[in-house]
Each structure stands twice: as C-alpha cells, then as structure tokens.
Amino acid sequence: MKILATDLDRTLLPNGSWPADENAIPLFNEWTTKQGVLLVYITGRNLNLTEKAIREYGVRFPDILCGDVGTTIRHYKNGAWSMDQGWIDHVHAMSPRWDNPAIRNLLAQIDGMREQEAEHQNEFKQSYYVDHQNRDPILAEVEGLIDGKFDEVLVYSFDSNNGNGLLDVLPDSATKQTSLEYVAKVYKAGKDIVFCGDSGNDIFPLTAGFLGVMVRNADEQLVQQVTEAKQKNDAIQIYHAQGGFKGLNGYYVSGVLEGAYHYGLLDETVELTTPLP
C-alpha cells in the first residue's frame, strides 16, 4: 500500500505568499487517484475547515483525515466520514492522565496567551493564541505549570499569514506524528509513508522515521529544526523540494508532487491528461 500523507495549509494548499503553479492541484488529484495511493491529510484544521479547503481549492477528498492536529481520525468512504473509535480508545489508553478541563483551569491566567475559539478545541485538544514576540517566557510559564502532569505535549507553531503564535496542548499520544503512526500500523505500512509539511508543527512527523518532504516554501524555523535533528540522527530522510520537477515550481502541492515522485510513490507509467506548465 502506497501512503501519501500531507499537511494542508501552505503545504498542499497555496495559501501563502509564494506563487502557485496553475494546474498543480488538478495534476495532484489525477495522479494520486490513478496511482491508487492512500491519501491522508494531517492538519490543524477541524472537519468543517477541511471541507471548506476542499471546496475552495478543489483538492480531492482524502481517504483518511487526521484532523485537529492529529487529535481526530476520520475515514472518508462513499461520500461520508466516519470517526475512528479505535483511535479515541487508543489515546485514552496511552495518555491516562490527560485532563483538558484541569489544563484549561491552570492556563487561564497566563498573560500574553488567550484561548482559541470553541471550534478549535476538542476532547484531546486545548489550544491558544500566543504573543509570538514573547513566546519564550510564556511557554516557560506554561511548562512550569503543567509539565508532564497530564501526559501532555506542547506543540508551538507560527502562522506567517497573520503573525499569530499557536500553542496546542495535546495528549502525548495524539499528535500529527502519533496519528500517522497509528494509520501506518492499521494499514501495515511500516515506515514506508511519505509525509509532507511546511512549518513548525510538522517537525515531529518529519523526524519520526517516515519519508519526509519539506515543500520549497518550508519556513525557516522548520528548516533549522530539521537541520538540527539530522545532525543528531543521520538516518532521518527529508527531501527539500526545490522546483524543476515537470516544470513545476516546488511550492505547495508542486513540492508535494516533487517529493512523492522523489520517493517513488508516483511513476511515469500513469497516463495523465492534466496539462503541465
């Protein structure tokens, strides 16, 4: 089974400040469908915002959606979504001390940080906007208050579109990385999965032993984190798209295609009708 997993915003979706290739999304839809890859979206978006992106940008439905930064897993079949109950049970079993009401109470009073809207919270996700300029002392305060007591993990990222720092407090067993590991296990794929990302919250799946791809527009923070991770462990495989593949520029979905091709997930024997640039 060939599995292609990808982040959405500014990885698959062209919603950053870099130029997007005109036919890259139709090419992605056609190629991955004809090639029969199992397509997984791993995103901070919830289900509503994922469906909005699918409508807005015309990307195809995935087979599996690891949404809400991996805290939910849904399967898409015959036009309908179904929640993966096995994943919910797995997270409860692996992170027994997770307690989001208690975390919410503890973190309510920290200056420079405010809770995200209700639609961005769920049973396994407690999320905040953080004053990015002051992130170091703020994150230190968060760590001091909750560090390790709730089987939690802190995932910080920066939204270059609006300058917001984003902090997700998640069970340590329910992240982008662990949701992908769960999918890999269920589909018996081992580590033979390509994962594509662009920013800080993609560092864990990128360095977890999968076949990693950074799109050309990957942010500086991520490139630096990847460089450091590779210095510690040179078995880590990460391809940084540069453009040039089939005349595509390497940004967003063009970088996903370039990376997937690099690892042999897509091949030339498939007859494609989408015109190339």
Which residues are at the interface with Mg ion (CB under 5 A)?
7, 9-11, 198-199
End-to-end alpha carbon distance in the chain: 30
Distance CA 160, CA 163 (A): 5
Closest CB 190 distance from Mg ion, rounded Å: 25
Closest CB 154 distance from Mg ion, rounded Å: 18
Q: Are strands 72-77 and 80-83 parallel, antiparallel or unpaired?
A: antiparallel
Which among 181, 233, 232, 179 is positioned nearest to 210, based on CA atoms?
181
Which among 156, 182, 158, 175 is positioned nearest to 167, based on CA atoms?
156
Sign of CA dihedral 52, 1, 69, 134: negative
Q: Which residue is nearest to Mg ion (CB)?
A: 9
The interaxial angle of helices 24-35 and 253-262, nearest 10 deg, is: 40
Q: Which is nearer to Mg ion, 44 or 150 (CB)?
A: 44
Closest CB 96 distance from Mg ion, rounded Å: 31
Closest CB 252 distance from Mg ion, rounded Å: 10
Q: Which is nearer to Mg ion, 11 or 179 (CB)?
A: 11
Q: Which is nearer to Mg ion, 44 or 209 (CB)?
A: 44
Q: Which is nearer to Mg ion, 8 or 184 (CB)?
A: 8
